[in-house]
Chain A
Amino acid sequence: MKRLEADQVDAVLRRGATARRSDGQPPRFARGDRVRVLNLHPYGHTRMPRYVRGRCGVVDRDHGLFVLPDSNAHGLGECPQHVYSVRFTGVELWGPEAPDADRVHVDLWDCYLTAEPDGTEE
């Protein structure tokens, strides 16, 4: 392990450590696409929150390519993929009693999603 020395602190904090990459898998989705989050329950690390699994939403924006934590956290490589902001209605997530005007945006990696041609959301 490399030790962080006092004279490096400022530069290291300023530089940060972005997980954005310039090369990776091409995007499978675009803004406006209806998508469904896969209903997967992996034993390892994932950034797929449980409350959106199996739920349908709309791609709101494409943030670009980022290291995939699901593989990187296990030393299986960075496997950069597109991350999308997917917009869900409160009703889709929590049922008919949720206010109509509630939206939850969740940043999700490409491989968490499948196309939902018959989706009825929004």
Chain B
Amino acid sequence: MSKHQHNAPLPDPVLRVKALESLLIEKGLVDPAALDLLIDTYENQVGPRNGARVVARAWTDPSYRSRLLRDATAAIAEMGFEGRQGEDMVVVENTERVHNLVVCTLCSCYPWPVLGLPPVWYKAAPYRARAVREPRKVLAEFGVDLVDGVEVRVWDSTAELRYLVLPRRPDGTERLSEQELAELVTRDSMIGAGVVPGSKSTDT
């Protein structure tokens, strides 16, 4: 159901984007077909399902997991995911003792080839400020309650490296196929702002 009312004026940012787009096209600076392809790529082709496939493979294939932790860029490229904003990747692994959380305090850097474009909260000032200052409170607000003694490692990706969290595999999933496992993996668990439903590291 669209909430759009035909007689309501469009919001300012939408009007501004439309004005800029038509000017850029009119001046020949932008190919509208290229623009459509770019939008389609990040709306429909590239997203967190890519990262979920990487995670599921790491859970089921120990040699892939060690390649992924040693040279994430190459291991992710093996799955066909590479390029813009994923040129230099690092994968950090959650364990019984360590929970990783990714943030970009200076802007909104995010590993596009495996996670797509960042969610709004990831780009918002409160998350960027608080993830480094009080990560346990932020995690609790996301529903991640850490057991006492678990180390929280926050990765501030303000340089050229992009980070993906390898979340913990839930217990009782030994019989699931790689594809079924991939379906369990959530976007937030690969940022560290969540855990895969059913997995420990939380005391729920």
**Residues in chain A within 8 A of chain B (CB atoms):** 1, 3-6, 8-10, 12-20, 47, 49, 51, 63, 66-67, 83, 85, 93-94, 99, 101-109
Contacts and interface: CB of A to CB of B under 8 A. Distances in A.
A98 B156 CA distance: 17
B52 to A, nearest CB: 20
A12 B159 CA distance: 21
A5 B34 CA distance: 6
B152 A102 contact: yes
Interface in B9-60: 28-31, 33-34, 36-38, 41
DSSP class of A's interface residues: helix, strand, loop or mixed? mixed
Given A9-B34, A13-B41, A3 B29 contact: yes
B136 interface: yes
B88 interface: yes
B202 interface: no
Contacts, number: 108
B158 interface: yes
Contacts of B33: 5-6
A91 B130 CA distance: 15
A107 B158 contact: yes
Nearest to A52: B156
B132 A104 contact: yes
Nearest to A50: B105
Contacts of A101: 149-152
B191 to A, nearest CB: 15
Nearest to B37: A9
Interface residues of B, number: 37
B136 A16 contact: no
A63 B88 contact: yes
Contact of B136 (A17, A20, A102, A106): A102
B161 A63 contact: yes
A83 B160 CA distance: 9
Given A49-B106, A102-B135, A20 B160 contact: yes
A16 B34 contact: no
Contacts of A67: 160
A85 B102 CA distance: 13
A29 to B, nearest CB: 15
Given A16-B86, A18-B87, A85-B161, 5 more contacts: A3-B29, A4-B34, A17-B84, A101-B149, A102-B152
